[in-house]
Amino acid sequence: MLNTTATPTHCPYCALQCGMNVLPGPAVEGRPEFPVNQGALCGKGQSAASVLSSQVRLTEPLVRDPATGRLTPASWEEALDRVADGLARARAGHGADACGVFGGGGLTNEKAYALGKFARIVLGTSQIDYNGRFCMSSAAAAGQKAFGLDRGLPFPLEDIPHTGCLILVGSNLAETMPPALRYISELKANGGTLIVIDPRRTRTAEQADLHLAPRPGTDLALALGMLHLVVADGRVDEEYVQGRTRGWEEARSAAMAHWPEHVERVTGVPVPQLREAVGMFTAAERAMVLTARGPEQQSKGTDTVGAWINLALATGRPGRPFSGYGCLTGQGNGQGGREHGQKADQLPGYRKLTDPAARAHVAEVWGVEPDALPGPGRSAYELLDALGGDIRALLLMGSNPVVSAPRAAHVESRIRSLDFLAVADVVLSETAELADVVLPVTQWAEETGTVTNLEGRVLLRRRALTPPSGVRTDLYVLQELAARLAPGLEKGFPTDAREVFDELRRASAGGPADYSGISYDRLAEGEGVFWPWSSDDAAADAGGSAGTPRLFLERFATEDGRARFVPVTHRPAAEEPDAEYPLYLTTGRVVAQYQSGAQTRRVPELNKAAPEAFVELHPRLAGRLGVAQGDAVAVTSRRGRVEVPAHLTAMIRPDTVFMPFHWPGAGRANTLTNPALDPASRMPEFKVCAVRVERVG
């Protein structure tokens, strides 16, 4: 029986946004009535209350003492004055674009909206982006091209068990989103089949009916090879292609250049396995393709996702019940975070910053002239790379790029070269340790706000606890900075989240991500509302609808309602192994840690389960290197060197090594990774680079 004093809310970690209750203590328990997790919580969710403790989190502002160089406690007035002064000096000396703003995919919709508004009308800067650029921007770009709209999953998770065959590309749900694994179990119990594509035989791949293990960076060739076989074997859904799509002939021609034997040489996946995968996928009346970071975090990630979308379109899957293509968003509010203005090229409602009509609409809501809004700025890595150069001061909220950015040692050096850095965070992260001012802000259980999960389901997080006396909300920070930097404009930055959301609704009205019909009252009544849901939809609805859970059933979001095939061809990764760096490195997560680990590394039970960084090697590779289990090894790329213990496992390709990216210091995986960017999404190539491995000592 649930505790009657519980406050219903949602987990602070991944994009499942599992339903949970906050209990006195504080403690947490799962909420069985929430459909996504039905009461199940992973270890991170179960221990979420630990980070609420004043023993592990920031409880007072910190400022850098010019005499000692150390961070020392300060009043909120002093800290905010210093932040305003640092930003004002940069703007006065070098122009508005000398001020940078960097946000996070964990910020609520209200914070993301207010941060984008603050950057553009208070600072007047174009230089704003967020760490969600590192999450699923390639899938977003590919989805926009193909369907005219980007919503991670265009159907709810509950549809997955009812499909006949699921291709899961580059996702390890068992470790990244454990409560979601039940959908796979239900799929198989219903007679469906699972194909997992991953260079590692992960805990998720262990569940597969067929596991394909391509070389890192070759997912694009694999998808094209499968589409080639679909065409060659006469398995194209011609009626669907003719009736619901455009551009098939060009895409077909591109795929036919990738014959099976060529694809086997590129990917290492045997032709019989290719044929088996195609047979399983096309034999199913209903089928889905889901992609995650594996194919997306590449310098050709947009094309790679596009190739998997082409496969889904050619076989008639998108826009049909229990079928289609979707992307598994990673960060807690990765979906909502990019919809409402903290991304370099977007305005609220997923509007394009370059669209005159979009600028006019948002400017009217904000009470400014459209010409006052700056144009698009740099993408996340490019913004970080410009620190200390064009960008002299940075306001950072909810991100830890010292650990999470590619080529992290270089990014750390750029952060250190700033004239001024202010960080608003819950804990003293590795990036916050470098700041001139650190502002302690509230976290998930101490504030009210909305998030949007991987299904496009907008959810209400409720305040359950009173924060420590020295802690303030991010909305308070933005209001106070606006008052100091642009007196009078602070009226446009309320501290009440509901008031901010109501303005967000007006700003998003008529946009692709239309939230105008979604209200706090409606969210409080049920288990979320799927966008788009306009005020007209809400007015016409008499049954308390959950919004739009399934997209594209009648038409796609393009001008003519048809999906677009985009012709793509395989090309190598930006950096391939050679004599000096003979191995592939790929990176990812472990179940007990989350993202840069800034919060989870402060939880004892999680640290006990995953205490340190490591590198996975195949036993054959370890034998050639003279490395035994637990030996210290050096992993070196063209960007740096790390030292970590070796974990030997036959579950990885012999030409590939794997490192999780949750740790700083000597085990920082992103010291090694390549910042080569996808030309469309500006996603860095986290998933593949060339390294060598040597035994230390």
The pLDDT tens digits of the residues spanning 109-153 come to: 999 999 999 999 999 999 999 999 998 899 999 999 999 999 999
Q: How does pLDDT run across 234-289, given as a tens digit for each residue?
A: 999 999 999 999 999 999 999 999 999 999 999 999 999 999 999 999 999 999 99
Over residues 347-368, mean pLDDT = 97
Determine the pLDDT at residue 55: 87
Please name the residues in contact with 419: beta carbons below 8 A apart, sequence gap of 6 or more. 86, 89, 90, 388, 392, 393
DSSP label of 547: B
Element (H, E) at 62: strand 62-64
pLDDT of the residue at 288: 98
pTM: 0.96
pLDDT digits (tens, 9 = 90+) for 319-354: 999 999 999 988 889 999 989 999 999 999 999 999
pLDDT of residue 2: 44
Domains of the chain, each with CATH number or no CATH = 7-52 (3.30.200.210), 62-134+333-444+471-494 (3.40.50.740), 137-327 (3.40.228.10), 583-695 (2.40.40.20)
Q: Name the strand (E) or helix (H) holding 52.
A: none
What's the rounded Cα separation, in Å, for the pair 15 and 453? 5
3-state secondary structure labels for all residues of 352-416 = ECCCHHHHHHHHHHHCCCHHHCCCCCCCHHHHHHCECCCECEEEEECCCHHHHCCCHHHHHHHHH
pLDDT grade for 207, boundaries at 50, 70 and 90: very high
pLDDT at 545: 82
What the block records as the tokens of 559 is 């001008």
**Does 1 have pLDDT greater than 60?**
no
The pLDDT value given to residue 136: 87
Condensed to tens digits (0 to 9), the pLDDT of residues 71-107 reads: 999 999 999 999 999 999 999 999 999 999 999 999 9
Residue 691 three-state SS: strand
Q: What is the rounded distance in angstroms from the CA atom of residue 567 to the CA atom of residue 220?
A: 12
Where are any strands of DSSP class E within 551-673? 563-564, 583-588, 615-617, 632-637, 640-648, 656-660
pLDDT at 5: 85
Pick from 379, 406, 412: nearest CA to 686: 406
Query: DSSP per residue over 458-517, as a string?
Result: EEEE---SPPPTT-B-HHHHHHHHHHHHSTTGGGGS-S-HHHHHHHHHHHHTTSSS--TT
Measured CA to CA, the distance from residue 349 to residue 337 in angstroms comes to 11
SS3 685: strand
* Beta-carbon contacts of residue 677 (< 8 Å; ≥ 6 apart): 299, 379, 381, 382, 683, 684, 685
Q: Can you give the pLDDT at residue 697?
A: 80
Is the dihedral angle over the CA atoms 128, 81, 423, 436 positive or is it negative?
positive
End-to-end CA distance of the chain: 57
- Report helix, strand or coil for 27: strand
Chain segment 589-648, per-residue pLDDT in tens: 999 999 999 999 999 999 999 999 999 999 999 999 999 999 999 999 999 999 999 999
Report the 10 Å Cβ neighbour count for 248: 18
pLDDT at 4: 57
Does residue 387 surpass a pLDDT of 90? yes
Instruction: Give pLDDT tens digits for 663-678.
Output: 999 999 999 999 999 9
- pLDDT given at position 3: 46
Confidence (pLDDT) at 646: 98
Q: What is the DSSP letter of 157?
A: G
Q: Write out 203-245 in H/E/C secondary structure.
A: CCHHHCCEEECCCCCCHHHHHHHHHHHHHHCCCCCHHHHHHHE
Q: Can you tell me the distance from the alpha carbon of 548 to that of 544, in angstroms, rounded to the nearest whole number? A: 12
- Using CA atoms, how far residue 137 sits from 142, 298, 508, 517, 677, in Å, is 9, 11, 20, 26, 11
Quick one: what percent of the chain has pLDDT higher than 70?
99
Mean pLDDT of the chain: 96
Confidence of residue 526 (pLDDT cuts 50, 70, 90): confident
